[in-house]
Amino acid sequence: MQKFSLLDLSPIPEGKSAADALAATVDLARAAERFGYHRYWLAEHHNMPGIASAATAVVIGHVASATSTMRIGAGGIMLPNHAPLVIAEQFGTLATLYPGRIDLGLGRAPGTDMATARALRRHMAPEDSFPQDVQELISYFGDSSDATPVRAIPGAGTHVPVWILGSSLYGAQLAAWLGLPYAFASHFAPDMLEQALAIYRSTFQPSDQLEKPHVMMAAGVCAAATDAEASFLRSSQFLAFARLRTGRPGKLPHPTHHLDREIPAPVMAQVEQALSCSATGSASTIRQKLRNIIDTYHPDELMVTGMIHDHAARVRSFEIAADVLADLTEEVVAS
């Protein structure tokens, strides 16, 4: 593992507003830069009462303006919701304002329910144009001449790094075919992780952007002074995920000591499996768990994420994780 990064969904806790969540995102980003995180990514979700990063490019610009060295990007933009030219203009503008610091991760899912997808004016065609849309988008970031009929301005010549995101084999195959870096959403969908990474690495074709495969995987982290405290803090995310799975999305709940009363056993089993690629506990506990993840999957980068109701506790969790990951990175490099 070469680097470690952070994924922030800008969670809106119960009792707080979207404005509070966006202020917390900026504060966390500044802290993450001090802690040594390499990237800080935000994700596109729509019609989600507990997530404030729907206008992802806008939030990325806000975070980039509040930081100075860390890479800021999208993990990701759901390209089926948008015309490639529009995304090229948005991220070309970001790359012009913050040169050398902007990443663009692309996902194939709509990132929302079908009614909201229609409200986004998404083209509901049965055919899958995602590979063609990715290639079109990349072309807008390339060098172009005045004779090029359609150009992204700003955007042309910025060469914004494009990543393919995925939680299945499709994204792995596409990223390998296009010669792009690949990020797997193992923090909420770990089932196909091992197979997807194997396909990506074995079928990768070098490109102008990338000479050899580059894998980033995501893992949940909830760290605190003790294992018990960390488990208590993480109960908020368990509750939020269970409510989403049962059709009751809402703001990030307060933590509880009584998850068994809140979540039926069959649903809890699903939640535990979905969130199993994770590390919860004290520094020593998460160190062992993260080390196991790194040793098993050998990612080039590890991106951690986690939703905690109390902002100060969330910042502290990512601080503990950064200290652990910095040590693990040194160990991997030295070995």
pLDDT value for 115: 73
Lowest mean pLDDT among 121-130, 192-201, 293-302, 324-333: 121-130
pLDDT value for 127: 59
pLDDT value for 252: 98
Other beta carbons within 10 angstroms of residue 132's beta carbon come to 11
For 266-306, the pLDDT digits (tens) are: 999 999 999 999 999 999 999 999 999 999 999 999 999 99
Query: pLDDT band for position 119 (50/70/90)?
Result: confident
pLDDT of 121 > 80? The answer is no
Output the furthest CA–CA distance in the chain (Å, rounded). Answer: 65
Residue spans per domain, the chain: 222-297+309-335
Alpha-helical (H) ranges within 43-155 are 56-66, 84-97, 114-119, 130-141
Query: pLDDT band for position 112 (50/70/90)?
Result: low
pLDDT of 113 > 70? The answer is no
Query: pLDDT band for position 126 (50/70/90)?
Result: low
- The answer to whether the CB of 21 falls within 8 A of the CB of 11 is yes
Residues 6+ apart with CB under 8 A from 93: 154, 155
pLDDT of 114 > 70? The answer is no
- For residue 192 the two structure tokens come to 């196909």
* Structure-model confidence comparison of residues 109 and 167, the more confident one: 167
pLDDT value for 164: 98
Q: What is the pLDDT averaged over residues 66-71?
A: 98
Nearest to 110 by CA among 95, 130, 94, 96: 130
Residues 6+ apart with CB under 8 A from 277: 186, 187, 190, 193, 217, 218, 219, 220, 293
Q: What is the pLDDT averaged over residues 150-156?
A: 94
- Read off φ and ψ for residue 182, nearest 5 degrees: -130, 130
Lowest mean pLDDT among 76-80, 304-308, 315-319: 76-80
Q: Which residues make beta-bridge pairs with 220?
A: 278, 305
